[in-house]
Amino acid sequence: MAAAPVWSVDPRNGKQREQVATEATAADVDRAVTAAHAVRGALADRTVRAAFLRGAAELLDGAKDDLVAEADAETALGTARLTGELARTCYQLRAFADIVEEGAYLDVVIDHPDDTATPPVPDLRRYKVPLGVVAVYSASNFPFAFSVPGGDTASALAAGCPVVVKAHPDHPGTSERVAAVLRAAAARHGLPEDVVGLVHGFDAGVKLVRHPLVTAAGFTGSVRGGRALFDAAAARPVPIPFHGELGSLNPVVVTEAAAAERGEQIGTGLAGSMTLGVGQFCVKPGLVLAPAGAGGDRLLKSLTEAVGATGAGVLLDHRMRDNFVAGVAERAQLPDVSAPVTPGAADEHTVTAGFLTVPAGHLADEGAHDLLLEECFGPVTVVARYTDDAEITAVLSRLPGNLTATVHLSEDEAAGAAGDDRGTRLLAELTPLAGRVLVNGWPTGVAVAPAQQHGGPYPATTSTSTSVGGTAIERWLRPVVYQNTPEALLPPELHDANPLGLPRRCDGRLEH
């Protein structure tokens, strides 16, 4: 039977644009993984690796106009948004090149023999080595930053691991073009093109995570799809790490004092955050605990005005549009749920933003309103009006893990004025829920920085690692220690003279 065609589709009208590939068969997946495995040694040289990452950024930037146009045609995310996303992607590649050159990620530790210790310490030399071929699963909502050239790919290549990417069906043409750029960058720097592979198709994604030569996987997508792959990774004869980002409600708590102080400003900010990118950000605030008093009323009035003024938008594909329309309708029909601005269908291709309100007490116990505690992908949020701190605590105690959690405090609360510990107490409640906790801000926008943490308790992610920032490289490495090994047999990273000039810890002391 002939392989199924892969079509590029315009989400603005639902029409097929062009056939860009065919779905990978089991043999195709095997060829891609086997080829990547065969060339993994080519990435061993850190200098070449860093040059490759910088070269990839340069070529992507040089192809910017063509790539952005293709991505916009497939996602309707707009040229301004996509231009910024591609710039972020190039920055990320260059940042990992710097990390590779510095070498601190190798975590070199040397302990010389010490017969006086109890028990005696032999000669121990430890550093980290790449795992091998990494499977990367592209995200729908970030065709650059979390897809073929995104953080999983960049960090895996930086670690010295070849990648095979499963393209997302929402932007197959963009995926093909970007993969070609990355392979060209590899060739330009003397590396085999097979350090970057690409496959299409749902079945290919399942076969990829089960392939015996795949050593780890990175995923960004839905809870259902991610959990199925996570389970498949764990069920292999040799289980592998699966670093999946699955879903997040990203709760926000607004104190009474904060609402009284700047309710209008908070309402406007919330509207901008929840509608950004037509509500298709993984860190969109999906649940807001706001006070039932006058300050909360002003927040809602401002939110109503700002969201009501937001134009209709196109979601990434018509399946997501249909799920959004059905999801908000089901939520709006729950008892005591109101829609000051009704979200839903604008026409057969677009949706309108909106928000729902509900008494917070309805969310405090298990029941019919549990649906409001599940992520709804698209431009909608739920505002739960609380009457006291006990309701805040009760709702927060029922939430699963999240990527982010936010609290809006008054100026005095933020400063801990006059012994006010409200801010401290709320941070203590939010910290167990998320990997990134914000004060007086909005979670949309994830800076690419060394201190970043983009991950959280399940189901936000399936591991405790981050997919953004320098420490994302750690996911694709494992430590190995050499004991009483003659220096002539050791890798240069572990030689006493430190010929590569690596940061390291030697006999308990940091050396730079």
Strands 477-483 and 15-22, bridge-based pairing: unpaired
334-366 per-position pLDDT tens digit: 999 999 999 999 999 999 999 999 999 999 999
Model confidence at 1: pLDDT above 90: no
Please give the share of the chain, as a percent, with pLDDT higher than 90: 96
d(C-alpha 349, C-alpha 176), whole Å: 26
Structural domains in the chain plus CATH codes? 23-107+129-246+464-477 (3.40.605.10), 251-439 (3.40.309.10)
245 is catalytic: yes
Q: End-to-end alpha-carbon separation of the chain, Å?
A: 59
Q: Residue 479: what residue type?
A: P
Q: Across residues 114-140, what is the average pLDDT?
A: 97
CA atoms within 13 A on the CB side of 271: 25
Model confidence at 148: pLDDT above 90: yes
Report the 10 Å Cβ neighbour count for 476: 26
Task: Provide the pLDDT confidence category of residue 3 given band limits of 50, 70 and 90.
Answer: confident
506 is catalytic: no
Q: 192-196, 348-352, 415-419: lowest mean pLDDT where?
A: 415-419
Catalytic residue among 70, 74, 85, 245: 245
d(C-alpha 57, C-alpha 257), whole Å: 46
Cα 222 to chain centroid, rounded = 11
- Residue 480: helix, strand or coil by DSSP? strand
**Residue 159 phi/psi, 5° resolution?**
-75, -10
CA atoms within 13 A on the CB side of 48: 14
- DSSP assignment of 15-42, as one string? EEEEEEEE---HHHHHHHHHHHHHTGGG
Model confidence at 418: pLDDT above 90: no
- DSSP assignment of 367-433, as one string? SGGGGGGS---SSEEEEEEESSHHHHHHHHTT---EEEEEEE--HHHHHTGGG--HHHHHHHHHGGG
Q: What is the pLDDT of residue 392?
A: 97
Which ranges in 146-255 belong to alpha helices (H)?
Answer: 151-159, 172-188, 202-210, 223-235
441-459 per-position pLDDT tens digit: 999 999 999 999 999 999 9
Quick one: tokens of 217? 């996987």
Please give the share of the chain, as a percent, with pLDDT higher than 70: 100
Q: What is the pLDDT of residue 386?
A: 98
Q: What is the pLDDT of residue 322?
A: 96
Q: Across residues 186-194, what is the average pLDDT?
A: 98
Task: Provide the pLDDT confidence category of residue 2 given band limits of 50, 70 and 90.
Answer: confident
Q: What is the pLDDT of residue 224?
A: 93
d(C-alpha 350, C-alpha 159), whole Å: 41
6-22 per-position pLDDT tens digit: 999 999 999 999 999 99
Q: Residue 254: what residue type?
A: V
Model confidence at 25: pLDDT above 80: yes
Model confidence at 460: pLDDT above 70: yes
Report the 10 Å Cβ neighbour count for 143: 33
Report the 10 Å Cβ neighbour count for 318: 15
Task: Provide the pLDDT confidence category of residue 75 given band limits of 50, 70 and 90.
Answer: very high
Contact 148, 138 (CB under 8 A): yes
Report the 10 Å Cβ neighbour count for 27: 9
d(C-alpha 362, C-alpha 370), whole Å: 9
Catalytic residue among 90, 282, 376, 493: 282
Q: Across residues 66-78, what is the average pLDDT?
A: 98
Q: What is the pLDDT of residue 416?
A: 85
Q: Which DSSP helix (H) or strand (E) runs through 450? A: none
Q: Across residues 252-267, what is the average pLDDT?
A: 98
- The CA-atom distances, in angstroms, between 417 and each of 61, 169, 423, 427 are 49, 52, 10, 16
Contact 125, 70 (CB under 8 A): no
Tokens 């197959």 sit at which residue? 172
CA atoms within 13 A on the CB side of 183: 16
Model confidence at 39: pLDDT above 80: yes
Q: What is the pLDDT of residue 76?
A: 97
